[in-house]
Amino acid sequence: MTDSYTRLVNTGLTKTLATRLGLPRPAVLRRHRPGEPLTVGPVLVVSDAASKTDADALAQTLLGWGTDVRREPSDDARWGAVVLVVTEAARPTDVSDAVLAVGSVLRRLAPHGRVVTVSRAVAEGDSPELAATRAGVDGFLRSLAKELRAGATGNGIVLTGGAAADSTSALATLRFFLSARSAFVDGQLLPVGPAPAGADEAPVDDDRPLAGRVAVVTGAARGIGVAIAKTLARDGASVVCVDVPAAGEGLARTANAVGGTALQLDVTADDAGARILEHARSRHGRLDLVVHNAGILRDKLLANMTPEQWDAVTAVNLAAQLRINAQLLDAGVEGLRIVSLASIAGIAGNRGQTNYGFSKAGVIGHTRATAPLVARLGGTANAVAPGFVETEMTRRIPAVTREMGRRASSLQQGGLPVDVAEAVAFLASPAAAGVNGEVLRVCGQSWLGR
Amino acid sequence: MATRKTTTGTPRGASSGTTGSARTADVRDAVIVGGNRIPFSRAGKRYADASNQEMFTAALEGLVARFGLQGERLGEVVGGAVLKHSRDFNLVREAVLGSSLSAQTPAFDLQQACATGLEATINVANKIRLGQIDSGVAGGTDTISDAPVAVSEGLRRALLAASHATTLQGRLKALARLRPVDLKPLTPATDEPRTGLSMGEHQAITTARWGITRDAQDEVALASHQNLARAWDSGFFDDLVTPFRGLTRDDNLRPDTSLEKLASLKPVFGKSLASSEATAGPTMTAGNSTPLTDGASTVLLASTEWAEAHDLPVLARFVDAETAAVDFVHGHEGLLMAPVHAVPRLLARNGMTLADFDFLEIHEAFASTVLTTLAAWEDADYCKNELGLPGAFGSVDRARVNVNGSSLAAGHPFAATGGRIVATAAKLVAQRAAETGETARALVSVCAAGGLGATAIIESV
């Protein structure tokens, strides 16, 4: 896209100049390309003493993924990733050695390296000591992520409901965080529970985890929707591309690029859910995944907001998702995965976006409430909350505000549509069955909100 | 191959939706899966610099996207343009190569003036019915904005002679024959070559002969705009049209036009004709004649088996078709009256009458085309003398004619009109059959330059 600053400080003479002047140099992030190795170097797995069994299991799995796995810090490696396992740590002092071991290799963490913590969520009945230890990981990881440089990121897996460290969903999350697919996900802790019985299936082909699945993407005519459609298709899904009839030209382009079908449909139509289901089933035989990506902006200070501006945003961004979900749940679509696009505006709020903030916070609300409903059918409902992403929409933001939006994050840049799409594809993948009712931020660890 | 023994002369309702039509036994059905067109635009506006190839490719791409045909090798893509550059000799094939279809999809151009789109549909349907192909796209495209401009006959001959000459002297000699007047370009005209009259002037004669009034024509025009606007508003075109170059609706459409506004327009055709008693002066205006338009349309046809194998819906069956021509040069018949002759033959062959049709799609070259067509079928003398029928062919409930508007409102990019009408008719009969549970039928009639006309029967499945 058009982040010329990042381009300048990473190329030629201007790169030298920026380095000399000590200007911030956002890295050109490493992104997923099929066939490339999972990490950029060997993976160090460290743990406290009590968590050694879990650490061993994860190390074994990593070996199986073809990575170079080490269990001891050493000076000879340019580390691709460090995995810190503290699942069984019971007292705050338990984690000291392991945490400091991570610190000892950070200077030798390669550009685009990864730090991933694996811990357990605080649960009801935890002793104060145990709760302190488990909660502490949160603050540790978020702080550490802010210390990383050169495109390296830090994220955490928080096991819930007694999920095993090497359960399918935990491993899928680990793989996502280690990979270039999570390039713009930083400083996030994702709760991962046990997958419901029968849903706990590892993908046959890691490069095409969605093979044989049928996905619907709304708002697929442009921007993030195009990237989502392309990424889901790359991962093997048949994609139904949906957008309003007036956006049909771009929609046809997307559908033809991904080998899917174009459905010109206003998602606010009363029967949108039924029509989506009918199209998916009659034309593709089934429906597995709905990505609620369609969204609009009608920015105005609340004092100047017209009813049309408020109502249009609520209708498209929120009410349409609710209605479509209700119709799909009524139809009893087995194993349905729902991924909704929330926004950082729904978490931190934005001046001039009361309507948008309401709708996007509403998305987070309904995602949490829908999760148990869709779980009964063996499915999941999750949300992805993008931070600043380089799109046509953000290109229209005034220059200074736009530049602040880009730099105000650990990765010091805006994300690309594909970064959001990768998060959607991960949550949609069969192996992520244990992630339900969660909001995954794709924001480069924005300074805004949590 | 699944085949269907067809019967002729079966009265309507005698068999359950399979009332046959084809004379030949052992042909299978050709069904209409759906259609796609780009919004039609008045000449010189939104598509001013879009070529026929771009527009047809866009219409094709929208069709491919709607039905997921990427990489598919279709049996044939058939279409054409009435106004065509000589460089576009393989227009349709070039559009296929520029589309997401398999490059192994054959294609050919055909041209039958304004009936091009319908004739293309007839061709594809026939190939499917004979089992020569399983699927195909029929369509057409036309641009007035990007029309070819030819050089004068004098310049053309001089240039050809110069290129054939072998010596410099010979070339100079050939070019020396040029006169200033030879440098004037020839812009395309739609005048009839044999009469020198424009289509409008021809139709003005027919209009006067049948005593069609100005008011009646304006009412047809008003209904066309109102019906098309309602169809757009109800979402009828949501799965028939894909926007192009930012245009999302036909821009000739005037939803707010009125009889008063139409009545205020000055006549443009027939001004030199002596007023007849009935019409009191020239009656044809820009409001009740189609405007020059740019656009493209496509229709996807297939065998039932192919549609099923590709999980595609079926809107209707393309039952049968008939073309006709009239002698407007030496005879006394009107230029655009050929469909009036074709339809009785078509219906006789299929054992049907006008009453068997839920919808009539009569291309509105002019409002008076629709009115003279209907008037002729109601005129016993005319039907006896000109059509060789025992009496009047029949009358039609006007509420069944062009129910979702036609060319007066949508515009008329010559070769693209057939595809627009076929897709609209197919969706209309599918909707009607879904409502009533009974077979619904549409009669399609398209008049064309040269005294030509093409007609067809489309029936719900």
The DSSP bridge partners found for residue A214 are A238
How many residues appear in chain B? 461
Q: How confident is the model at residue B274 (pLDDT cuts 50, 70, 90)?
A: low
- Smallest CA–CA distance, residue B274 to chain A, in Å, is 48
Q: What is the pLDDT of residue A154?
A: 94
B412 is catalytic: yes
Q: Can you tell me whether residue A446 is helix, strand or coil?
A: strand
CB of A160 within 8 Å of any CB in chain B? Answer: no
Tokens of A32: 């997923």
Contacts of A264 in chain B (CB under 8 A): 238-239, 242
Angle between helices A248-258 and A224-234 (to 10 degrees): 20
Interface test with B, best of A256, A267, A276, A282 (most B CBs within 10 A): A256
Please state, in angstroms and rounded to a whole number, the distance separating the CA atoms of residues B211 and B275.
10
Single-letter residue type at A337: R
| Chain B residues near residue A259 by CB distance under 8 angstroms | 68, 70-71
Rg of the Cα atoms in chain A: 22
| Confidence label for B24 from pLDDT (cuts 50, 70 and 90) | low
Interface contact A261-B68, CB threshold 8 A: yes
Question: Which chain B residue has its CA at the smallest distance from A246's CA?
Answer: B248
Cβ pair A245:B238 closer than 8 A: yes
User: Is some CB atom of chain B closer than 8 A to the CB atom of A214?
Assistant: no
Q: Which of B46, B236, B238, B300 to mutate to test the interface with A (most CBs of A within 10 A)?
A: B238
Average pLDDT over residues B23-37: 87
Report the C-alpha gap between B205 and A374 in whole angstroms: 70
Distance CA A40, CA A28 (A): 14
Contact between residue A381 and residue A437 where contact means Cβ atoms under 8 Å apart: yes
Q: Which residue has the tokens 């009590």?
A: A50
User: Span B448-457, mean pLDDT?
Assistant: 96
Residue B398, C-beta contacts closer than 8 angstroms, at least 6 positions apart: B374
Q: Which of the two residues, B359 and A398, has the higher pLDDT score?
A: B359
Give residue-wise pLDDT tens across range A40-61.
899 999 999 999 999 999 999 9
Paired residues of B112 in beta bridges: B114
- Name the helix (H) or strand (E) containing A351: none
Does residue A317 register a pLDDT over 50?
yes
SS3 A82: strand
Contact A381, A436 (CB under 8 A): yes
Given CB atoms, is A271 within the 8 Å cutoff of chain B?
A: no
The answer to whether residue B324 scores a pLDDT higher than 60 is yes
State whether B243 and A256 contact (CB < 8 Å).
no
Q: Kindly report which listed range (A71-75, A228-232, B74-78) carries the lowest average pLDDT score.
A: A71-75
Predicted confidence at residue B18, as pLDDT, reads 44
User: Which residues of B are less than 8 Å from A261 in CB distance?
Assistant: 65-68
A38-192: CATH number: 3.40.50.720
Q: Where are the domains of chain A?
A: 38-192, 214-442
- The pLDDT tens digits for A239-287 are 999 999 999 999 999 999 999 999 999 999 999 999 999 999 999 999 9
Q: Is the pLDDT of residue B377 over 80?
A: yes
Which DSSP symbol is given to A409? B
The predicted structure's pLDDT at residue A184: 94
- Mean pLDDT of all residues in A145-173: 92
Cβ distance A251 to B65 less than 8 Å, yes or no, reads yes
**Best residue of A230, A249, A258, A283 to probe chain B, by most B CBs closer than 10 Å:** A249
Residues contacting residue B175 through CB under 8 Å, at least 6 positions apart: B158, B159, B162
Q: How far apart are CA A159 and CA B104, in angstroms?
A: 53
What's the pLDDT score for residue A102? 92
* The two domains A38-192 and A214-442 share their CATH topology (first three levels equal): yes
Neighbours of A212 (CB within 10 A): 13
pLDDT, residue A92, reads 93
pLDDT band at B8 (very low <50, low <70, confident <90, very high): very low
Chain B touched by A264 (CB under 8 Å): yes
Residue B22, pLDDT score: 47
> Quick one: pLDDT at residue B19?
45
Mean residue pLDDT across chain B: 90
Q: Considering chain A, what is the average pLDDT of its residues?
A: 91
| Whole-complex ipTM | 0.85
Query: Which residue in B354, B350, B361, B349 sits closest to B377, CA to CA?
Result: B354
| Among candidates B243, B246, B311 on the partner chain, residue whose Cβ is nearest the Cβ of A283 | B311
pLDDT of B135 > 70? The answer is yes
Predicted local confidence at residue B5, as pLDDT: 43
- What's the confidence (pLDDT) of residue A346? 86
End-to-end Cα spacing for chain A:
27
Q: What does the H/E/C string look like for chain B? A: CCCECCCCCCCCCCCCCCCCCCCCCCECCCEEEEEEECCCEECCCCCCCCCHHHHHHHHHHHHHHHHCCCCCCCCEEEECCCCCCHHHCCHHHHHHHCCCCCCCCCEEECCECECHHHHHHHHHHHHHHCCCCCEEEEEEEECCCCCCCECCHHHHHHHHHHHHCCCHHHHHHHHHCCCHHHHCCECCCCCCCCCCCCHHHHHHHHHHHCCCCHHHHHHHHHHHHHHHHHHHHCCHHHHCECCECCECCCCCCCCCCCHHHHHCCCEEECCCCCCCCCCCCCCEECCCECCEEEEEEEEEEECHHHHHHCCCCCCEEEEEEEEEECCCCCCCCCCCCHHHHHHHHHHHHCCCCHHHCCEEEECCCEHHHHHHHHHHHHCHHHHHHCCCCCCCCCCCCHHHECCCCCHHHHCECHHHHHHHHHHHHHHHHHHHHHHHCCCCEEEEEEEEHHHEEEEEEEEEC
Rounded average pLDDT over B377-396: 95
Test A256 with B237 for CB contact under 8 angstroms.
Answer: no
Q: Which band of pLDDT confidence, cut at 50, 70 and 90, is reported for residue B13?
A: very low
Crossing angle of the two packed helices B116-129 and B417-436, in degrees rounded to 10: 60
Closest CA to B362 of B303, B313, B408, B413: B408
For B96-121, what is the mean pLDDT?
96
- Write down the pLDDT at residue A98: 92
Please, which pLDDT band fits residue A202 given cuts at 50, 70 and 90? low
Under an 8 A CB cutoff, do A245 and B248 touch?
Answer: yes
Residue A333 or residue A405, greater confidence: A333
Query: Any chain B CB within 8 A of the CB of A127?
Result: no
State the pLDDT at residue A121.
Answer: 93
Whether pLDDT at B196 is above 90: no
**Whole-prediction pTM:** 0.88
Rounded to 5 degrees, φ, ψ at B52 are: -55, -40
Catalogue the active-site residues of A: 356
Q: Which of A62-66, A224-228, B219-223, B382-386 has the lowest average pLDDT? A: A62-66
Q: Is the pLDDT of residue A416 over 70?
A: yes
Q: What is the mean pLDDT of residues B175-187?
A: 77
Predicted confidence at residue B262, as pLDDT, reads 93
Q: Which long-range contacts (CB under 8 A, 24 or more apart) does A367-372 make?
A: A367/A338, A367/A340, A367/A342, A367/A437, A367/A438, A367/A439, A368/A437, A370/A325, A370/A329, A370/A338, A370/A437, A371/A436, A371/A437, A372/A437
Nearest of B117, B51, B80, B9 to residue B356 by alpha carbon: B9
Q: Considering only the beta carbons, identify the residue of A241, A252, A285 that sits closest to B62.
A: A252
A245 touches chain B (CB under 8 A): yes
Mean pLDDT for B168-197 is: 79
Task: Indicate if the pLDDT at residue B4 is higher than 60.
Answer: no
Q: What distances in angstroms separate CA B232 from CA A275, A375, B444, one per listed residue?
A: 19, 40, 21
Phi then psi for residue A325, to 5 deg, are -60, -45
Find how far residue B419's CA is from the centre of its chain: 7
Give the distance from residue B100's alpha carbon to the nearest chain A alpha carbon, in angstroms. 7
Q: Residue B394: pLDDT above 60?
A: yes
Q: Which of B286, B270, B290 is nearest to B210 (CA)?
A: B270
Residue A150 CA to residue A115 CA, distance in Å, equals 13
Angle between helices B367-378 and B214-233 (to 10 degrees): 110
Whether residue A440 contacts residue A382, with contact meaning beta carbons closer than 8 Å, is answered with yes
CA distances from B58 to A396, B14, B99, B287 (A): 28, 43, 8, 29
pLDDT higher at B331 or A96: A96
Task: Report the C-alpha gap between A214 and A216 in whole angstroms.
Answer: 7
**Phi, psi for residue A284 in degrees, rounded to 5:** -125, 0
Mean pLDDT across the stretch A326-345? Answer: 93
pLDDT of the residue at A201: 61
- Confidence grade of residue B264 (pLDDT, cut at 50, 70, 90): very high
The reported pLDDT for the residue numbered B16 is 41
Residue B218 has a pLDDT of 95
pLDDT of residue B7: 42
Predicted confidence (pLDDT) at residue A170 exceeds the cutoff of 80 = yes
Measure the CA–CA gap between B427 and B424, rounded to whole angstroms.
Answer: 5
Give the lowest-confidence range in A210-219, A310-319, B13-22, B86-95: B13-22
Tell me which residue has tokens 């899917």: A260
Nearest CA in chain B to A261: B68
User: CA dihedral defined by B199, B202, B208, B210, rounded to 10 degrees?
Assistant: -90
Cα angle value A338/A342/A345 (rounded, 5°): 175
Q: Which of A23-27, B8-12, B76-80 has the lowest mean pLDDT?
A: B8-12
| A&B contacts, CB < 8 Å | 64
Q: Identify the active-site residue in B202, B341, B363, B412.
A: B412
CA–CA dist B408, A178 (Å, integer):
62
Distance of CA B131 to the CA centre of its chain: 25
pLDDT for res B169 = 86
B62 vs A248, A284, A285: nearest CB: A248
Residue A284 sits at the chain B interface (C-beta within 8 Å): yes
- Output Rg (C-alpha) for chain B, integer angstroms: 23
Residue-level pLDDT at A13? 76
Distance (Å, whole) CA B110 – CA B112? 7
Nearest CB to A248 within list B68, B71, B242: B242
pLDDT at A203: 58
Beta bridge partners, A156, equal A117, A189
CB atoms within 10 A of CB A299: 17
**Residues of chain B in Cβ contact (below 8 Å) with chain A:** 58, 61-62, 64-68, 70-71, 100, 235, 237-239, 241-246, 248, 311-313
Given the DSSP bridges, would you call strands A79-85 and A43-47 parallel, antiparallel or unpaired? Answer: parallel
Q: CA A389, CA A315: separation in Å to the nearest integer?
A: 23
* CATH H-level, domain A214-442: superfamily: NAD(P)-binding Rossmann-like Domain (3.40.50.720)
Q: What percent of chain A has pLDDT over 90?
A: 71
- pLDDT reported for residue B9: 41
Q: What is the dihedral of CA B199, B200, B204, B207, to 10 degrees?
A: 80
Coil, strand, or helix at residue A232?
Answer: helix
| Distance to chain A for B203, nearest Cα, Å | 37
Look at B66 and A252 and tell me if their CB atoms are within 8 Å. yes
Confidence (pLDDT) at A75: 80
Residue A236: pLDDT band with limits 50, 70, 90:
very high
